[in-house]
Structure 1
Amino acid sequence: MTHSAQGGILPCQSIEDLIAQGAVTSATPFDLDQVQPASLDLRLGARAWRVRASFLPRYDRTVASRILDVAMHELDLTRGAVLEKGCVYIAELQERLALPPGISARANPKSSTGRVDCFVRLLSDNQPAFDDVQAGYHGPTYVEIAPQTFSILVRTGTRLNQLRLKTGEPPKLKTVSVGVDLTDGVAGFRARRHAGVIDMDHVDGHDPRNYWEPLIPRNGELLLDPGEFYILASKEAIEIPVLEAAEMTPIDPSVGEFRVHYAGFFDPGFGTEEANAVGSRGVLEVRSHETPFLLEDGQVVARMVYEPLTARPARLYGQNGSHYQRQGLKLSKHFQPWE
């Protein structure tokens, strides 16, 4: 079964074919687990720059030339570097693209990146839009990194974002509303503002009590304080069929004064019976804006947009083990289980 006539998202075996053809190259050999069921993890390169402002390259400008305009100092990522919260950085990525005509790409933060409130966006030359890579693009890739709540330790090879490749314009198969679960017990976590550094490559390496405060709603309601960052869970179980992929998108700001979910890709097999993961929830990364907002149990806070794959993926999400398959309310993989 194929949706390729209309366009669709490429599964893992097609991504691996592009790598074999030289359409995606890397400064170092690819990691064995770098290709996900419908996306490719991207890895930091050797250099990053602290910049005084975010920017987008114009059609006639490269990212490298714009970095020269705004760079404050350069960091050597081969030795590891702390990226301070409240600052903006641009880093080289190891992966370089030489996309065939008709193949474009879109990037998003990895789940673990969004769950520590680190805002990341892909940059490519002559592309005046974050995260989108035009069809047939030949050139380097970069990532803008803006830690919001925690300072983070990264190094060459750290994976903060991922790339989804596609043919044409995949049709939107359906859009599903996502509500928030604010039932009894611990229903979420609020980030502590003055916590330590998070090592982005250290799995299960941090005591969550030093970074998070558990939240117990009252009468199915939770008051979001302006500028605070929250981890919550979806009311509904989420299932991504094996021939589809999905992206979680924020709702219209007119519905509420908050933003949900920096990291939006859901791969085929998430929450499915085939992957032995029925009942998996979506984790919601929520930041309130300028005004306090009273969130209610079941309130719609995001949308899931489903798109077709061009072919069934050779492997499904979580089949070989995943930190987030079969998840409920869950912090990022950097933290030990809450006790």
Structure 2
Amino acid sequence: MGVLPSQMIEGMIRDGALKATPAILPEQVQPASLDLRLGTVAYRVRASFLSGQNATVARRLEEFEMHRIDLSDGAVLEKGAVYVVPLMESLALPNGVQAVANAKSSTGRLDLLTRTITDGGVEFDRIAPGYSGPLYAEICPRSFSVLVRPGMRLNQIRFRKGQAVLSDIELRKLHAEETLVSGEAHIDDGLGFSVDLKPKNGNLVGFRAKPHTGVIDLDKLSFYEPEEYWEPIRTNEGRIILDPGAFYILVSREAVTIPPDCAAEMAPYLAMVGEFRVHYAGFFDPGFGHARAGGTGSRGVLEVRCHEAPFVLEHGQIVGRLVYERMAEVPTQLYGTGIASNYQGQGLKLSKHFKAI
């Protein structure tokens, strides 16, 4: 029981539970998830949708399609529009194995809303045990228009058997053994984390996406100048005011550790605490921030969007929580230097497409 590790995912590929055309590449397999690849066509649709019970995504596309775009030579997905892209991968899950999908870290840091939909689906990113059928990515660029090509990996999928979530009692015991977070551990339906608005050096606390920018080619790494796309956020007061509709990159005050026999998912905090959302890319792999994988604790980058009203965010305010899950087995590969992970040991950091600050 638990989240399936890399070696079990490889077994699912061999057994035909995970299929793809062309075949799945070894580098798609992560410690506790599988990267999913864009196919060759994008459908521009009038609105976001779920297929619903007893219906297929293909049938719903007939209702909502505006036009289709060939991605073979690359194509721009425009800010503010909604697209559906068939993925190269499909599933034939065994009974008892369910799946959950999420955006990859670099996808979330670009404010690129990416969700997985399935035939018969009644929720985004949640796939029922025993599902057999195609996978689709719904993509809505929120802050930047992006250039995409077939084979790009914007989202990922995680598989689990049975109940894997650690209770608060189990989480406290694990923290006593592993020190999951620097400082005080706020454990209440998961491990709470807060925002850092008093950095040790200087007064740079985050970035706000600029409203009018150029296109970002997702294949270009360490290429773009941050100041052309982002406005730095500085404060000497330990607080900032979030603007409605604006997108921010901030960082957690705590350094987080994910032990090799666990995985975690970032969950949004209670809506009652304020007019903002923290959560796009939510998967934390086994080994994130862990000494065994070359880490000494890694802070969580927060992708924050303010809603209807301006909101004062203050240093140390709890803004989210990590839900820890047990692994079915320790993965044969861990997040970190061994697999060239981009964000091990991170602090405040933009996506890998931007030059280092």
State how far apart, in whole Å, the 1-side matches of 2:321 and 2:225 are: 32
SS at match of 2:192: strand
> Is the 2:165–2:323 Cα contact (8 Å) retained in structure 1?
no
Q: What is the deviation of 1:199?
A: 1.1
Supply the distance in 2 between the matched residues of 1:31 and 1:152 (Cα, whole angstroms).
Answer: 24
C-alpha root-mean-square deviation of aligned residues, in Å? Answer: 0.9
1:137 equivalent to 2:134? Answer no
Contact 2:259 2:290 in 1 (8 A): yes
* 2:355 match: 336
**Pair 1:52-2:71 in alignment:** no
SS class of match (1:67): helix
- Give distance in 2, aligned partners of 1:258 and 1:224: 8
Alpha-carbon distance, 1:29 to partner: 2.2
1:21 match: 15
1:154 is matched with 148
Q: Distance in 2 between matches of 1:310 and 1:161?
A: 22
**Distance in 2 between residues matched to 1:252 and 1:297, nearest whole Å:** 18
- After the TM superposition, which residues 85-96 of structure 1 pair with which residues of structure 2 at under 5 Å, given as runs? 85-96=79-90
Quote the offset at 1:18 in angstroms.
Answer: 0.1
Aligned to 2:291, the other structure's residue is in SS state coil
Q: Show the counterpart of 1:196.
A: 214
Aligned to 1:97: 91
Task: Measure how far apart 1:218 and its partner are.
Answer: 3.0
Aligned residue number for residue 283 of structure 1? 301
Question: Which residue in the other structure is 1:268 paired with?
Answer: 286
**Separation (CA, whole Å) in 1 of partners of 2:118 and 2:270:** 27
Instruction: List per-residue Cα deviations over 1:56-100 (Å, max 9, x = no partner).
Output: 112110001101100000011111110001100000000010111
Q: Whole-Å Cα distance in 2 between the matches of residues 169 and 47 of structure 1?
A: 37
| TM-score (norm: length of structure 1) | 0.96
- For 2:328, the equivalent position in structure 1 comes to 310
1:168-189 per-position Cα deviation (integer Å, ceiling 9, x unaligned):
2323344111100001421101
TM-score by length of 2: 0.92
Other-structure match for 2:247 = 229
Aligned equivalents of 2:105 and 2:350: distance in 1?
10
Look up the SS of the partner of 1:166 in the other structure. Answer: strand
Give the Cα separation in 2 of the matches to 1:153 and 1:169.
Answer: 39
Partners of 1:156 and 1:253 in 2: CA distance: 37
Distance in 2, matches of 1:146 and 1:115, equals 13
1:187 partner letter: V
Report the CA distance between 1:101 and its aligned residue: 0.9
Q: Which has the higher helix share?
A: 2
Of all paired residues, the percent bearing the same amino acid is 54
- C-alpha separation between the residues in 2 aligned to 1:331 and 1:297? 20
Q: Which runs of 5+ in 1 are unaligned?
A: none
* Residue aligning to 1:181: 196
Q: Which residue of 1 aligns with 2:35?
A: 41
Matched, 1:216 2:216: no
Alignment partner of 1:257 out of 275, 287, 292:
275
Deviation per CA, 1:136-184, whole angstroms, max 9, x where unpaired? 1110000100000100111100111000011123233441111000014
Which residue, 100, 112, 118 being the options, matches 2:112?
A: 118
CA distance in 2, matches of 1:335, 1:275: 25
- Listed one character per residue, the Cα deviations across residues 12-70 of structure 1 (whole Å, up to 9, x for unaligned) are 00000000111101111222310000000000011110000111112110001101100
Distance in 1 between residues matched to 2:160 and 2:108, nearest whole Å: 23
Task: Report Cα offsets for 1:223-252 as digits up to 9, x if no partner.
Answer: 111111100000000100110000001111
The one-letter code matched in structure 2 to 1:72 is M
The DSSP-based 3-state class of the residue aligned with 1:274 is helix
The answer to whether the 8 A contact 2:9-2:29 is kept is yes
- How far, CA to CA, are the matches of 1:220 and 1:171 in structure 2? 34
Deviation at 1:320, TM superposition (A): 2.3
* 5+ long unaligned stretches in structure 2: 172-189
Figure out how many residues of one structure are paired with residues of the other and give that number: 332
4+ aligned runs moved over 4 Å, structure 1: none
SS in 1 for 2:198: coil
* 8 Å contact kept, 2:196–2:205: yes
